[in-house]
Homo-oligomer: A and B are copies of this chain.
Amino acid sequence: MLRTNNEFLSYIKELYSDDAYTRYIKVQQLTVDAQFLTQGERVHQIYIIKEGIAKCFFSEENGKDYILEFLGKGEILGEIEAIREMPCLCNVAAVTTLEVYSISIKLFNDLMDKDMRLNKLLLKELAERMVNTSSRASFQQLYTVEHGLAKLLELRDKQQLQLSKEDMAAYLGITLRSLNRALKGFSHH
Cα distance, A134 to B126, chains bound together (Å) = 12
Structural contact, B131 and A173, CB atoms closer than 8 A: no
The proximity string for A residues 137-176 relative to B, scoring 1 for CB distances below 8 Å and 0 otherwise, is: 1111111000000000000000000000000000011100
Which residues of the partner chain B approach A84 to less than 8 Å between Cβ atoms?
Answer: 124, 127-128, 131
Structural contact, B90 and A142, CB atoms closer than 8 A: no
Stretch at the interface among A11-19, A29-37, A115-123: A115-123
- Most B C-beta atoms less than 10 A away, residue of A65, A89, A126: A126
A83 partner, pick from B123, B134, B136, B138, beta carbons under 8 A: B123
Top 3 A-B pairs ranked by shortest CB distance?
A141-B173, A137-B137, A66-B138
